[in-house]
Structure 1
Amino acid sequence: MSEMKQLPIRFPADVKAWLSEQARLNGSSQNSEVIRAVRERMERQEAATA
């Protein structure tokens, strides 16, 4: 991960609330939780096509 790109994103209120709670429970940032969720989805997709 040598380069980071910013992405402005809007979430529905329920998703934002869930994201905030997950970050609190995991002691991480909301940004980290978004990255974690996207990476998990990427891994599932890659596994399904392998």
Structure 2
Amino acid sequence: MNAPPKDFMESNGKIYVVVAVVLVIIIGLFLYLFNLDRKLSRLEKEEKK
């Protein structure tokens, strides 16, 4: 019962869930920033006209 946290998570397969959730959050953040950059670039271009 006193297994190290790493072994405990790997034995239950929860480490894969944690990695998947972290990857989804990071990908979502990058997509949000990319979309925000596109909108900002469009606004800057319209303002120059």
Give the TM-score of the pair, scaled to structure 2: 0.45
Structure in which a larger fraction of residues adopt helix = 2
Larger CA Rg, structure 1 vs 2 = 2
Instruction: Report the TM-score, using the length of structure 1 for normalisation.
Output: 0.44
